Structure 1
Amino acid sequence: MIPRNSLQQLHDLDRASPQFHEQLSNFLRGNEYRNVFPKLQGEDFAWLIEYLDSVLVGIPDPTGSIFQECLHELGKICRVREILPKSCTVSDSLLEIGLPSTSGYAYDGALDGSKVRIQRVRSYPEGDPQEVKQTFHQVAATWKRLTHRNIVPLLGVTIDPLQLISDWMSGEDLMASTISTPAT
């Protein structure tokens, strides 16, 4: 049986408190959480994922240690259980897929009328499909919360098929825009 008071303790942390981030960090590093984590089941995992995702949205400094701890924990949970926060998934009814790029795994498309890039996850015959799905879930959960001027924002994902949907970036592709040095 899972000690309900462990998740209740997390739930009861006051997000408005100046000590919230320190308390959350202590909880995630604590022995009680480490002992409870392997015993969590579906509903509790879903709650924990949504909780961590909502905490990440409220942290103003994505370079701080609490952001990194929460992001790492969220990615780990999503990988292990192959589930994502609701904020990551996109409704198929809002997504329009256009023609494939020359690689055949990226598509131009539209999400709710805005131009997007859709990247379909490749599946290799010699690869482990379970590992592909786990990595996909970890990458999606992590990428969704990353913000940096050099990182294209992840708008969401679809699960069947596994696709990553990001903002459309106009201009040249990476290979065409690299700076070439003259041969000597």
Structure 2
Amino acid sequence: MMDSPSIGSQDESVYPTPNSSILLDFDGSVCKRLITHDFSQHEVVPLIEAIFSSQDEVKMIGYLRGDDAQTFIDVIDEALDLPGLSSRLRRKCLSVLCKICGRQALLPRSLQIPLCYDRSDTPLYQGGYADVWKGEHRGRPVAVKALRVYSTSDFDKITSRFCKEVVTWKTLHHPNVLPLLGVTMGKNHFAMASEWMVNGNINEFIRANRDTNRFELLKGVVRGLIYMHGQAMIHGDLKGANILIDKNYHARLADFGLLTVVSDPTNPTTSGSSAKGGTTRWMSPELLDPDQFGIKDSRATKESDCYALGMVVYEVLSGRAPFTPLKDIIVMRKVIEGDRPERPDGPEGTWFTDDLWRTLNLCWEAQRGSRPGIGVVLECLERVSGIWKPTPPQVCEDVEMDEDDWDLTTVSDSSGTVS
């Protein structure tokens, strides 16, 4: 009897496909119907339900390769948008889709777009782990972010992580989350296209529009984060530079998920300017020094997102990055030792009510289990925005900052700034 690989297995051996001459010891007939398109449209959801209800069918998924795997990926990808798909079944579809895309280094055809920018040009922005161009897709301006790959030694691992993350990003639909338009993937080349944000990031927007309602923008940020967490997705790099403002003046979360691609210790694309791929002054203490907090897995969590959210609120309302003007190495030490930003005074301090400041300090608790749920932050912002009409503070323009403090992953030109 032949053992079949489980979905998500790292074994990359070649296994028989449903069309192979090797006799399989299980049925998998429903899965075969999907990849041969032997079904009508109204049968798709029942067939998918049948696949995930049978061990034989799930085994068959593990054997799919090449064109069979691509067809299965495309059918499941299309099914994710069907109205008859229950939330339970949708989660199963997404989970399997991420695993098979990662394992096979394949993406749904719906995500694949032709190269929409000129790689021979100089990037508009060169960040710690990616370069950004302004391109065009279907007559619309787009932002194209290309990961920088220096070595092919871990190319398979990078490709697997990249495929998983962009598939997850594609499924996110929320007015406060930046949508993914498409992906170009080739040899040593990973590029993602998203809508060009003409109003730049949230920091640039408030500098140009000092009388804007910052609380409303921040509430959009929190709503987007609540949605992401509800989809079992962590942002992992939340900061003002990664919050864009669309043409309708809504805050849009960007640059999420890619830290799982770029922050792996074996990944040559990891930026040396940030700790574990994040941006130091927005990172929670357990991410900066996992050993001190008894944490073996130093990946970002909902709790570390909460900590970063507190820093974003501070950043947007004060008009400056957390711990300005300290250098990153000093910030790391201070945060690990328990220091947090001081409450602003003067004109900019008028934004920070006692209620809000208490909530921010809860977000900044050293022990991640003591931090509140993101909904608590939204409730506080609702209360504060309903009773307080502060005078917009003057933004400090002459503070000495590190190169990566404000715009690690953004690009500016005369027509806008994008992530």
The answer for the alignment partner of 2:285 in structure 1 is none
The answer for the alignment partner of 1:138 in structure 2 is 164
1:143-173 CA-to-partner distances (Å, cap 9, x unmatched) read: 2222112221111111132101111223242
The answer for the alignment partner of 1:88 in structure 2 is 111
From the superposition, tell whether residues 29 and 120 of structure 1 become closer, same or farther in structure 2 (CA, over 3 Å). farther
1:109 and 2:135 are equivalent in the alignment = yes
What is the alpha-carbon distance in structure 2 between the residues aligned to residue 145 and residue 125 of structure 1? Answer: 30
User: Which stretch shifts more, 22-31 or 119-128?
Assistant: 119-128
What is the alpha-carbon distance in structure 2 between the residues aligned to residue 123 and residue 21 of structure 1? Answer: 39
1:64 and 2:87 are equivalent in the alignment = yes
From the superposition, tell whether residues 33 and 112 of structure 1 become closer, same or farther in structure 2 (CA, over 3 Å). same
1:55-80 CA-to-partner distances (Å, cap 9, x unmatched) read: 1122377x822222212211111101
User: Which stretch shifts more, 116-125 or 45-54?
Assistant: 116-125
From the superposition, tell whether residues 48 and 79 of structure 1 become closer, same or farther in structure 2 (CA, over 3 Å). same
State the aligned residue count. 179
What is the alpha-carbon distance in structure 1 between the residues aligned to residue 201 and residue 82 of structure 2? Answer: 33
The answer for the alignment partner of 2:199 in structure 1 is 171
From the superposition, tell whether residues 82 and 59 of structure 1 become closer, same or farther in structure 2 (CA, over 3 Å). farther
- Counterpart contact for 1:157–1:164, Cα < 8 Å: yes
What is the alpha-carbon distance in structure 1 between the residues aligned to residue 42 and residue 168 of structure 2? Answer: 25
Task: Normalising by structure 1, report the TM-score.
Answer: 0.79
How far is 1:85 from its partner? 1.4
What is the alpha-carbon distance in structure 1 between the residues aligned to residue 93 and residue 39 of structure 2? Answer: 15
How far is 1:52 from its partner? 0.6
From the superposition, tell whether residues 35 and 142 of structure 1 become closer, same or farther in structure 2 (CA, over 3 Å). same
From the superposition, tell whether residues 112 and 118 of structure 1 become closer, same or farther in structure 2 (CA, over 3 Å). same
The answer for the alignment partner of 2:234 in structure 1 is none
What is the alpha-carbon distance in structure 2 between the residues aligned to residue 46 and residue 129 of structure 1? Answer: 20
How far is 1:90 from its partner? 0.7
Task: Report the RMSD for the aligned CA atoms in angstroms.
Answer: 2.9
From the superposition, tell whether residues 133 and 126 of structure 1 become closer, same or farther in structure 2 (CA, over 3 Å). closer
1:14-37 CA-to-partner distances (Å, cap 9, x unmatched) read: 5436xx646523422420122212
What is the alpha-carbon distance in structure 2 between the residues aligned to residue 68 and residue 167 of structure 1? Answer: 26
- Counterpart contact for 2:117–2:144, Cα < 8 Å: no
How far is 1:12 from its partner? 5.2
From the superposition, tell whether residues 14 and 117 of structure 1 become closer, same or farther in structure 2 (CA, over 3 Å). same
What is the alpha-carbon distance in structure 1 between the residues aligned to residue 58 and residue 42 of structure 2? Answer: 25
- Counterpart contact for 1:117–1:168, Cα < 8 Å: yes
**3-state SS of paired residue (2:313):** coil
What is the alpha-carbon distance in structure 1 between the residues aligned to residue 199 and residue 56 of structure 2? Answer: 50
What is the alpha-carbon distance in structure 2 between the residues aligned to residue 23 and residue 46 of structure 1? Answer: 18
What is the alpha-carbon distance in structure 2 between the residues aligned to residue 172 and residue 74 of structure 1? Answer: 33
Higher relative contact order (CA 8 A, sep 6+): 1
1:156 and 2:182 are equivalent in the alignment = yes
- What is the one-letter code of the residue matched to 1:6? V
The answer for the alignment partner of 2:98 in structure 1 is 75
Q: Which has the higher strand share?
A: 1
- What is the one-letter code of the residue matched to 1:85? P
- What is the one-letter code of the residue matched to 1:47? T
1:91-128 CA-to-partner distances (Å, cap 9, x unmatched) read: 12xx1347422526222222232111111123365972
1:5 and 2:29 are equivalent in the alignment = yes
Task: Normalising by structure 2, report the TM-score.
Answer: 0.38
What is the alpha-carbon distance in structure 2 between the residues aligned to residue 137 and residue 163 of structure 1? Answer: 11
User: Percent same amino acid among aligned pairs?
Assistant: 23
From the superposition, tell whether residues 32 and 38 of structure 1 become closer, same or farther in structure 2 (CA, over 3 Å). same
Structure 1 gaps of 5+ residues are none
What is the alpha-carbon distance in structure 1 between the residues aligned to residue 84 and residue 171 of structure 2? Answer: 12
Structure 2 gaps of 5+ residues are 1-15, 19-26, 203-239, 244-311, 319-341, 344-419
**3-state SS of paired residue (2:117):** strand
What is the alpha-carbon distance in structure 2 between the residues aligned to residue 56 and residue 116 of structure 1? Answer: 25
1:121 and 2:147 are equivalent in the alignment = yes
